[in-house]
Amino acid sequence: MGRGGIYVSLFVGHLKRIMAETVYRNSSEELEISLKPLIRRDQLIAVRRSVLTSIPVGIALAGAIALVAIHYGPGKAGLVWFSSATIINIFRIFLCRAPLPGAPKINSTAEQTRSAHRAVEQHFRLYWITALVSGFIWSLVPLLCKGYTSPQTLFYLMLVCGTTAGVVTHGTAYARIPTCFITPSLASIIGCLLYTGGFDRNCLAATVFLYLFGLVRIAYQGEAAFREASLLKNEATTLAQSLKEAHARSIAVAEQMSYLATHDELTGLLNRAGFMQEVAHRASVTRAPLCVMLLDLDGFKSINDVFGHIAGDRVLVEVARRLRESLTDEFSIGRLGGDEFAVFAVLQPPQASPQSLATHLITAIEIPFTTFCTGKVGVSIGVH
């Protein structure tokens, strides 16, 4: 191969690799879109759990701030602030204990999936709105320490920054909730420090800004990692469910094929192969006398010629029904083909004699058909 051929082969191989990667990436994106409602529900469950875990800690820290405000002043403002923070936290607790939206099933319709997705998004909207309200309440902490200029400034800064760090740590499943809480709280610190001025306070404000930026970045990185883990979990669950359904379908198909191999599709009776297997099996396990009857319908060809094959099929189905109703479960009934039927039985008392049984079957089959106008059908029976 010349140098030009080598370059062409390399180019074709590179092109195939790019196409394969594109197809894989597109299929992965489509799968993630289809699993998005399940991923969002996993996020919702994790958010509820994390909020219920972090709120008691937040209430305790708010109580500590209120105690310091009462001790050093202003006490009334501290009580009002603590009451507001507690009320919104209690509301958030009740919100997290509300009934969880139902999970969309893997085989759900598009409308059911959209409805479940909308319910989850409504819960998320309530969560981040209440987190934003709570964040605005915490942004009022400067009112308790004269805009971070009182001697207790370091205490308030430590508690607010520690609270925001804890919220981000517990809120990695859905970044908007911790972001809505920490942004007003830390923004108020930055504003107060810049308003007060001074080199050290401006540097501290810049540090708090970098701290805020880092927390937001960590929150969104945590959400991305959570979504990736949830995607892998739901992919595995979906694959397992698909394999389970495929296995069930294969079993059903195998059972259907096994049934059709031994039964007549039109009448539901045993076909020739199934009837012969049944006779061989029952004859091998008994020493009692055996009886085989061969039935042939009289005038069936004229029914097909005059009324058509659909009417003929209806006659065969009706004859099969009359045979089942006339015989007990101890009899094996088969359709050997066309208009030929067969009956097999082990003769044990108190069964009727084969001759009387044949007469009974002839009488049952010769009853006129009232559901369709094909007249009366006769039958000839050979008994062995």
Residue 248 inside a domain? The answer is: no
Predicted local distance difference test score (pLDDT) of residue 52: 86
Tokens 């927390």 belong to 215
Angle between helix axes 36-72 and 110-138 (nearest 10 degrees) is 20
- 271's enclosing H/E stretch is none
Q: Tokens for 282?
A: 């029952």
Structure tokens at 295: 């039935």
CATH number at residue 335: 3.30.70.270
Q: How far is CA 272 from CA 261, 312, 316, 384, in A?
A: 10, 20, 15, 17
What pLDDT shows up at residue 112?
Answer: 67
Q: b/e map of 92-102 (b: 16 or more CB within 10 Å)?
A: beeebeeeebe
pLDDT of residue 247: 87
Torsion of CA 171, 176, 178, 184, to 10 degrees: 180
Report CA Rg, the chain: 41
Q: Specify if 247 maps to a domain.
A: no
Range of the domain at 153: 35-238
Residue 346 to residue 331: CA distance in whole angstroms: 8
Residue 252 lies in a domain: no
> Is 254 inside any structural domain?
no
Pairing of strands 332-337, 290-298: unpaired
125's tokens? 């909207």
Overall number of domains in the chain: 3
CA-CA distance, 114 to 122, in Å (whole number)? Answer: 12
CA pseudo-torsion sign 187, 189, 194, 199: negative
Number of H helices, E strands in the chain: 11, 4
DSSP 104-120: PPTT--HHHHHHHHHHH
In a domain, 213, yes or no: yes
E-only strand ranges, the chain = 290-298, 332-337, 340-346, 378-383
Looking at the structure, tell me whether residues 56 and 122 fall in a common domain.
yes
- For residue 344, the model assigns a pLDDT of 92
Looking at the fold, whether 71 and 135 belong to one and the same domain comes out as yes
Are residues 62 and 104 located together in one domain of the fold?
yes
β partners of residue 297: 379
Helices 309-326 and 354-365, packing angle to 10 deg: 140
Considering the domain architecture, whether residues 351 and 223 belong to the same structural domain is answered as: no
Same domain assignment for residues 222 and 345: no
One domain, residues 103 and 234:
yes
Residue 319 lies in a domain: yes
**Same domain, yes or no, for 78 and 13?**
no
> Quick one: 296 exposed, middle or buried, by C-beta within 10 A (0-12, 13-18, 19+)?
middle
Cα angle, residue 228 at apex, residues 20 and 24 outer, rounded to 5° = 10
Q: Are 198 and 296 members of one domain?
A: no
Contact 175, 223 (CB under 8 A): yes
Residues 226 and 333 in one domain: no
Quick check: helix, strand or coil at residue 34? helix
Domain match, 138 and 229 both: yes
Question: Are 227 and 298 contained in the same domain?
Answer: no
Cβ burial of 182 (10 Å; 0-12, 13-18, 19+) is buried
What pLDDT sits at residue 2?
54
Q: What is the pLDDT of residue 197?
A: 85
User: Is 244 contained in some domain?
Assistant: no
Q: Using alpha carbons, select from 13, 15, 152, 7 the residue that is nearest to residue 78.
A: 152
Mean pLDDT by 10 residues, the chain (384 residues): 55 59 50 72 88 88 92 89 93 87 60 76 89 94 90 90 86 88 94 90 92 92 89 85 86 87 90 91 85 89 82 89 88 90 83 83 84 71 91
166 in the same domain as 55? yes
Cα 355 to its chain centre, rounded Å, is 61
Side chain identity at residue 205, one-letter code: A
Say if CB 367 and CB 313 are below 8 A apart: no
Residue 364: both structure tokens together: 């049952």
In single-letter form, the type of residue at position 355 comes to: Q
Q: Is residue 246 part of a domain?
A: no
CB atoms within 10 A of CB 241: 13
Backbone angles phi, psi at 287, to 5 degrees: -110, 0
